[in-house]
Amino acid sequence: MKRKLRVFRYDPEAGDGPRFQTFEVEAPEGMTVLDALHVCKEQQDASLTYRWSCRSFICGSCAMTINGRSLLACKTQLSNLRGTVRIEPLAGMNVIKDLVVDWEPSLAAYRSITPHLMTDGDPPETERIQYPGARRLYDAAATCVLCFACTSACPVAWTAGGYLGPAILTKVARFVEDDRDAATARRLDEIASEDGVWRCRTAFRCTDSCPKDIPITETILRLRRLAAARALRGIAR
């Protein structure tokens, strides 16, 4: 069965675009958007540029806007999409070329929240013990693959000002809710700025777009209550 793809093309160095190019591919059952892009690149236009790596929704490279939603190309089946498939780069980020966007502002935000475990005391002789119940508390948040589909879907992230974004806040929650981490106070301070956790408007687009089904809005709201408790009562934890 043949499917049509309308793909965003833009090459600032060659002065081409921005424009849409229509491809037609033979789509057998089970074909994903990423498979279709491979066919377009290999057989029709080798200049088509996009990020991809694992093809099994674990690396987070191939996030893009498909029919208006922020999705992973390797996880989205053509049979689940209706009509001509409109493929654009992630929304709200600068376009480098075709479907490749500039992740640097998001990665800079990531570095600013100290994304590694900060433990207390001397390291133990063997491993640190963590009970399954404690692990379950941050299980969902730890599944994040930093694909930034959520941040690209967030209407607040589209505006000015450098909102940290749902992906970064989920990473902070992953550490705050990890009982091996001893730097909760500092982490809550890192997200307490004007552009931090207070800018979430509960629009839920992040939760809808997460390919790992992380309950992002719920996570951010829990984190916000912790930040509020800290700011309003000066509790040091």
Partner 1 sequence: MNSPRAGEQGPTPRRAGLAFYLSRGPSLIVRGLFEPGAFAHAAHRLTGLVICAYLLAHIIVIGQAAFNEQGFDSLMRTFHRPLFLLLDLLLFGAVAFHGLNGCRLMLHDLSIGLRHQGRLVWVVTAATFSLMGWGLWALWPELT
Partner 2 sequence: MTRYAPAARVSRMPAWLWLLQRLSGLLILGLVMAHMVVNHYVDPATTITVGYVIANVRKLTFLLVDSCLLLLALFHGMTGLRNVLFDFVSRPRARSLVAWACTVVGAAFFAFGLAVLLTVMNR
The 8-class DSSP code of residue 80 comes to G
149 near partner 2, judged by CB under 8 A: no
Nearest-approach distance from CB 58 to partner 1, in angstroms: 20
| Three-state secondary structure call for residue 146 | coil
| Of the candidate residues 17, 41, 58, 230, the single one contacting partner 1 (CB under 8 A) | 17
| Contact set for partner 2, span 98-137 (CB under 8 A) | 118, 120
Q: How crowded is the C-beta side of 132, counted as CA atoms within 13 Å?
A: 0
Q: Is 129 or 236 the residue whose CB approaches partner 2 more closely?
A: 236
What angle is formed at CA 65 by the lines to CA 61 and CA 67, rounded to 5 degrees? 140
Bridge partners for 42 per DSSP = none
What DSSP element (H or E) covers 2?
strand 2-11
* Closest to 196 (Cα-Cα) out of 237, 150, 162: 162
Nearest-approach distance from CB 31 to partner 1, in angstroms: 23
| Of the candidate residues 55, 135, 222, 230, the single one contacting partner 1 (CB under 8 A) | 222
Structure tokens at 166: 């749902």
| Of the candidate residues 118, 155, 229, 231, the single one contacting partner 1 (CB under 8 A) | 155
68 near partner 1, judged by CB under 8 A: yes
d(CA 21, CA 6): 6
d(CA 106, CA 162): 9
177 near partner 2, judged by CB under 8 A: no
205 near partner 1, judged by CB under 8 A: yes
221 near partner 2, judged by CB under 8 A: no
| Of the candidate residues 17, 105, 162, 215, the single one contacting partner 2 (CB under 8 A) | 162
Paired sense of beta strands 2-11 and 85-88, if any = parallel
Structure tokens at 137: 């508390």
Structure tokens at 199: 């800018």
Site residues (vs partner 2, CB under 8 A): 118, 120, 156, 159-162, 182-183, 185-186, 189-190, 192-194, 196, 198-199, 224, 227-228, 231-232, 236
Residue ranges in contact with partner 1 by CB under 8 A = 8, 10, 12-13, 17-18, 49, 65, 67-69, 86, 88, 91, 94-97, 100, 102, 155, 201-205, 208, 215, 217-218, 221-222, 224-225
